[in-house]
Amino acid sequence: MSIRVGIMGYGNLGRGIECALKQNADMELVAVFTRRDPSSVKILTEGVGVYHVDEAPNMKDKIDVLIMCGGSATDLPKQTKEYAKYFNVVDSFDTHAKIPEHFAAVDEAAQASGKVAMISVGWDPGMFSLNRLYANAILPNGSDYTFWGKGVSQGHSDAIRRVEGVANGKQYTVPVEEALERVRSGENPELSTRDKHTRECYVVAKEGADKAKIEAEIKNMPNYFADYNTSVTFITEEELQRDHSGIPHGGFVIRSGKTGWNEENNHIIEYSLKLDSNPEFTASVIVAYARAAYRMYKEGQKGCKTVFDVAPAYLSPVSAEELRAHLL
């Protein structure tokens, strides 16, 4: 019998979950929940109902795992702990600094309900975190480097669009190739913010706006751009739609460390992602962890978990014997 999955919130991530479920024969989508009028939400999967969020608790016996697809700022801090009362849940909570607090609240709910609640699943936090953990455990004597991009930063794109005279804009975070090469060489460089990433801005100016002023305002914006080498390129709305409508992202997690009695040997462990669609990849990671959450629940586990607590075999639909024979 397949694992019955519900989606809470139907934006880019929710749609990504729906697409990922289509690729996993052991799982099926059984419901989508929305705060909007359900009749206004059209989903891709035929024969699956869209319900108002308020109906979710009534469907607790029809859903094995509920995937939380809201935002980290306001939705998930409330929703994940609330729905962990009724369901095994998975979320992608990504406010790194607030993870301990979120973990505690969700754990309390899931311990009480006897469900498994998996938080902060995706690629960062998620696969990048895992790779930091593995690499640190293997090479205790070393340095960590994380680079992001090339990819779209939603927060920085929003910041551009708030500048006076700007009609539209998109920002790419780009890792500095030279810095990557220095890390890969085993040099263990100290890298400043400016050394690691550049910021590329594509900006549509409003009719008659002062472009020089816009460019200066962006480049000098504190926190967002002032600490980086930033480029500003003015383009038309048509060019923006044509060339910059995707949501690619990715990045690199590198650990460089020494071994040997006198630390004479250097090793580089590198993990990288190059993603055409940030939300669809995040969704693909979440779906694998939804499978794990359900299996761990079936084994009698409960409470809040992160990717650090999940033995890799739980993620795969393939049996342990097959995994040992073919992937090990």
Contacts to a second copy from residues 224-263, by CB under 8 A? 259-261
Residue corresponding to tokens 């761990």: 296
Q: Give 316: exposed, middle or buried? Use CB within 10 Å, 0-12, 13-18, 19+.
A: middle
- Return the residue of 57, 58, 73, 308 that touches a second copy, per CB under 8 A: 308
| Shortest Å, Cβ 71 to a second copy | 18
Work out which of 50, 139, 152, 176 binds a second copy, going by CB under 8 A: 139
Q: Which is nearer to a second copy, 165 or 186 (CB)?
A: 186
2 part of the interface to a second copy, by CB under 8 A? no
Q: Is 129 in the site for a second copy (CB under 8 A)?
A: yes
Q: Kindly tell me which of 212 and 311 has the beta carbon lying closer to a second copy.
A: 311
Coil, strand or helix: which one is 206?
Answer: coil
Binding residues for a second copy restricted to 56-115, rule: CB under 8 A: 96, 99-100, 103
Candidates 271, 293, 297, 302; binder of a second copy (CB under 8 A) is: 271
Question: Measured at the alpha carbon of residue 58, what is the angle toward residues 53 and 60, in degrees to the nearest 5?
Answer: 95
**What is the smallest separation between the CB atom of 187 and a second copy, expressed in angstroms?**
13
SS (H, E, C) 255-296: EEEEECCCCCEEEEEEEEEEECEHHHHHHHHHHHHHHHHHHH
Question: Per-residue x/- marks for a second copy, 184-223, CB under 8 A?
Answer: x-x-------------------------------------
Alpha-carbon distance of 7 to 25, in angstroms, equals: 17
Residue 270's nearest CA partner among 173, 147, 137 is 147
With tokens 């071994």, the residue in question is: 259
Question: Quick one: tokens of 327?
Answer: 């992937």
Minimum CB–partner distance for residue 120 and a second copy (Å): 6
The alpha carbon of 254 is separated from its chain's Cα centroid by a whole number of angstroms, namely 18
Q: How far is the CB of 208 from a second copy (least distance, A)?
A: 38
